[in-house]
Amino acid sequence: MGDIRYDDRVAVITGAGGGLGRSYALYLAARGAKIVVNDLGGSTDGQGNDSRAADAVVAQIRDLGGVAVANYDSVATAQGGERIIQTAIDTFGTVDIVINNAGILRDASLVKMSAESFDALIDVHLKGAFYVTQPAFRVMKEKGYGRVVYTASGAGLFGNFGQANYAAAKMGLVGLSSVTAIEGAKYNIKSNVITPIARTRLTEGVMGATGEMFAPEYIAPMVAYLVSESCEYTHEIFNVGAGRYSRIFVASAPGWNAPAGATPSVEDIRDQLSIITSTASYKIPANAVDA
């Protein structure tokens, strides 16, 4: 098999002014993709804006012989999402790839978290991915091709102290990707989720010395495969970090069936919990009806 390339493909990458987004932009550009480098240029908690981050990545891509354009819109509004995709259309004529990577952090324990901090994370991570993907999906559906990656987190799938807002937003992305995959199936639109573990501006304060093990460059090849024409996987979740790549999945076990025509009591539930909670012979449902 030959090299995987992205010649004539247009990729929109949010939060691409640094960290993971920057690594994706450089990787895809080096293999022929035209890149929309979106970055608001704000602080890690979403304050302010600065065009320099996106401009620096665009300059680096162009210096290496690639093709890129900067966009500074916020993903946190519908208008911003539309403008990000319109930048791709105005500059390159289409959009083939969307990598939803933009994010912020505002950690606090559950009882100390403000409603504003909760809403801010939902706006950027969850609504932001929707606002960018929806207009791109319309283009992809019309042309019969598209690749979408959503960035979730182990915090969303499994929880993490002090990150109720982040976890809720990230788990929401799993559901959003599932629907994107189902609705995009007949249009050759593949949608997948990654849960990366990487040293970025958002995580460097908590990783310490171990951060060197989690370079963003470990994540880029997996994402690059998921947005390639070669990728046939969709509706999947992949955990990626420090050179380890694995599948994560939501499954359903056989469980216990109450006798036909009988409404079980709370004691019946208690007595059957060993069967109800067993993970033996699990299956991975294709959708809610299958579940």
The pLDDT confidence band at residue 212, using thresholds 50, 70 and 90, is low
The pLDDT confidence band at residue 210, using thresholds 50, 70 and 90, is low
Domain assignment present for 152? yes
Question: Quick one: 60 and 162 in the same domain?
Answer: yes
Q: What is the pLDDT of residues 23-39, one digit of tens each?
A: 999 999 999 999 999 99
The confidence score (pLDDT) of residue 47 equals 85
Q: Is the pLDDT of residue 17 over 70?
A: yes
Is the CB of residue 100 less than 8 Å from the CB of residue 128? yes
Question: Quick one: 200 and 146 in the same domain?
Answer: yes
Residue 134 belongs to a domain with what CATH number?
3.40.50.720
Amino acid at 286: A
The confidence score (pLDDT) of residue 192 equals 98
Positions marked catalytic: 166
Domain count, the chain: 2
The pLDDT confidence band at residue 204, using thresholds 50, 70 and 90, is low
Domain assignment present for 1? no
Question: Quick one: 203 and 129 in the same domain?
Answer: yes
Domain assignment present for 2? no
Question: Quick one: 159 and 77 in the same domain?
Answer: yes
Question: Quick one: 136 and 57 in the same domain?
Answer: yes
Give the dihedral sign, CA 276/280/284/285.
Answer: negative
Q: What is the pLDDT of residues 243-266, one digit of tens each?
A: 999 999 999 999 999 999 999 999
Interatomic CA distance for residues 247 and 224, integer angstroms = 16
Last residue of a domain, one of 248, 266, 283: 248
Q: Which domain holds residue 290?
A: 252-291
Question: Quick one: 238 and 261 in the same domain?
Answer: no
Paired tokens of 50: 């600065």
Domain assignment present for 4? no
Question: Quick one: 73 and 202 in the same domain?
Answer: yes
Domain assignment present for 71? yes
The confidence score (pLDDT) of residue 42 equals 82
- Alpha helix stretches (DSSP H) within 37-190: 52-63, 78-92, 115-121, 128-143, 154-158, 164-184
Domain assignment present for 5? no
Question: Quick one: 200 and 283 in the same domain?
Answer: no
Averaged pLDDT, 34-58: 92
What does the mean pLDDT of the chain come to?
94
List CB contacts of 185: < 8 A, sequence separation 6 or more: 234
Count other C-beta atoms under 10 Å from residue 206's C-beta: 11
Q: What is the three-class DSSP state of 15?
A: coil
**CA proximity to 130, closest of 265, 283, 14:** 14
What pTM was computed for the model? 0.94
Question: Quick one: 38 and 134 in the same domain?
Answer: yes
The confidence score (pLDDT) of residue 91 equals 98
DSSP 60-75: HHHHTT-EEEEE---T
Domain assignment present for 3? no
**CA proximity to 167, closest of 149, 152, 177, 151:** 152
The pLDDT confidence band at residue 159, using thresholds 50, 70 and 90, is very high
Please give the C-alpha separations between residue 154 and each of 180, 240, 277, in angstroms, as whole numbers: 21, 10, 22
Averaged pLDDT, 43-58: 90
